[in-house]
């Protein structure tokens, strides 16, 4: 979700979507239950558009995909916009080598179930999520907790994490430490106490924990939400600017990596 500009004012920025998710308990879970095949950022983007247009959230597909499912998009329905990765090629002028890179574009080509009619859909099951599978898939190692300070809930060092066996919110701490490994440990180690210090790295890790806990229905979302809301309320800056857009992109991407890594099935849709 980097290196792209939003196409129109109608599509909210990632930071605005994140703040929407932080300030409305239940929104992340609702987005996950309806749109779990899509990336965490796109789930919230889709849900916000459904709410703006008064559409019931549900499965989303492109026009041809609905046709494959023997359903058709109703006359006059406008497509929802999602953010898609595209692979681009660039030829290096000096070496004449071809490089590929990923860019992101917004496309309006998805329709939610409520915008379609036709054959009844098979019920959709949400895949099971497993913490150990996520850790392994992310190429992260869980090591024994050897910190001497009992207040420390967990820590992250390079690609290793440990969770205090007595941690108050073990899943929240797990997601927080996984986020540090994905986003921050190249620059140093993290040991997290009962009170999270106020820094941008911490708000990023705690936001990832919030997205993961609430999506998967695991305990810890309330605590993470409280911390982030406290962060947002500091000083006189308006909420929308409190979390930089670049941080919001990193947060959505890390949460998405963690959730996908722990799922029992490989999804065919990758947007
Ligand atoms: Zn931390």
CA of 135 to the centre of ligand 1 (A): 17
CA of 205 to the centre of ligand 1 (A): 6
> What band does 1 get if pLDDT is binned at 50, 70 and 90?
very low
DSSP letters for 197-234: --SHHHHHHHHHHHHHHHHHT-TTHHHHHHHHHHHHTS
| Confidence (pLDDT) at 261 | 96
> What band does 27 get if pLDDT is binned at 50, 70 and 90?
very high
> What band does 51 get if pLDDT is binned at 50, 70 and 90?
very high
CA of 35 to the centre of ligand 1 (A): 29
Looking from the CA of 215 toward its CB, the CA atoms found within 13 Å total 32
| Confidence (pLDDT) at 9 | 54
Give the lowest-confidence range in 49-53, 54-58, 88-92.
88-92
> What band does 268 get if pLDDT is binned at 50, 70 and 90?
very low
| Confidence (pLDDT) at 156 | 94
CA of 156 to the centre of ligand 1 (A): 8
| Confidence (pLDDT) at 240 | 52
Decide: 110 and 60 in contact? Cβ < 8 Å. yes
Look over the chain and give the mean of its residue pLDDT values, rounded to a whole number.
88
| Confidence (pLDDT) at 60 | 94
CA of 249 to the centre of ligand 1 (A): 18
- Using alpha carbons, select from 84, 42, 59, 2 the residue that is nearest to residue 256: 42
In the chain the beta strands, taken as DSSP E runs, fall at: 60-62, 71-73, 80-91, 98-112, 116-118, 141-142, 154-157, 160-163, 190-192
Decide: 110 and 152 in contact? Cβ < 8 Å. no
User: Residue range 225-238: average pLDDT?
Assistant: 76
CA of 106 to the centre of ligand 1 (A): 32
CA of 204 to the centre of ligand 1 (A): 9
Flag whether pLDDT at 148 surpasses 90: no
pLDDT for 176-202, tens place per residue?
Answer: 999 999 999 887 788 887 766 668 899
Find which of 85-89, 184-188, 209-213 is predicted with most confidence, using mean pLDDT: 209-213
Sign for the CA dihedral angle at 197, 199, 201, 202 comes to positive
Q: Is 11 exposed, middle or buried (0-12, 13-18, 19+ CB in 10 A)?
A: middle
| Confidence (pLDDT) at 3 | 42
Flag whether pLDDT at 70 surpasses 50: yes
CA of 16 to the centre of ligand 1 (A): 23
CA of 57 to the centre of ligand 1 (A): 34
CA of 226 to the centre of ligand 1 (A): 15
CA of 47 to the centre of ligand 1 (A): 29
CA of 8 to the centre of ligand 1 (A): 35
Q: Which residue has the higher pLDDT, 269 or 124?
A: 124
CA of 161 to the centre of ligand 1 (A): 11
Q: For the chain, how many helices (H) and strands (E)? A: 10, 9
- Phi first, then psi: what are they for 13, rounded to 5°? -70, 160
pLDDT for 91-132, tens place per residue?
Answer: 877 788 888 888 889 999 999 999 999 999 888 888 899 999
Decide: 161 and 177 in contact? Cβ < 8 Å. yes
CA of 199 to the centre of ligand 1 (A): 9
| Confidence (pLDDT) at 91 | 82
| Confidence (pLDDT) at 265 | 67
Measured CA angle at 133 (ends 132, 136), to 5 deg: 85
Q: Which residue has the higher pLDDT, 239 or 248?
A: 248
């Amino acid at each position: 979700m980097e290196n792209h500009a939003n196409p129109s004012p109608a599509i909210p920025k990632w930071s605005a979507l994140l703040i929407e998710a932080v300030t409305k308990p239940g929104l992340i879970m609702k987005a996950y239950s309806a749109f779990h095949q899509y990336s965490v950022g796109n789930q919230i983007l889709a849900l916000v558009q459904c709410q703006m247009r008064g559409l019931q959230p549900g499965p989303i597909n492109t026009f041809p995909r609905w046709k494959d499912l023997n359903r058709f998009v109703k006359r006059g329905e406008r497509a929802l916009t999602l953010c898609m990765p595209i692979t681009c090629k660039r030829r290096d002028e000096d070496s004449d080598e071809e490089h590929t890179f990923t860019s992101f574009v917004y496309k309006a080509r998805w329709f939610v179930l409520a915008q379609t009619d036709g054959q009844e859909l098979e019920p959709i099951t949400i895949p099971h999520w497993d913490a150990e599978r996520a850790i392994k898939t992310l190429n992260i190692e869980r090591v024994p907790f050897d910190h001497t300070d009992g207040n420390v809930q967990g820590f992250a060092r390079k690609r290793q994490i440990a969770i205090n066996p007595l941690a108050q919110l073990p899943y929240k701490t797990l997601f927080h430490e996984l986020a540090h490994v994905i986003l921050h440990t190249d620059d140093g180690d993290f040991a997290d106490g009962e009170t999270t210090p106020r820094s941008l790295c911490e708000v990023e890790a705690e936001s990832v924990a919030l997205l993961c806990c609430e999506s998967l229905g695991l305990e810890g979302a309330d605590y993470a939400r409280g911390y982030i809301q406290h962060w947002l309320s500091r000083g006189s800056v308006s909420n929308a600017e409190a979390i930089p857009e670049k941080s919001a992109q990193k947060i959505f991407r890390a949460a998405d990596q963690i959730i996908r890594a722990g799922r029992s099935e490989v999804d065919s849709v990758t947007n």
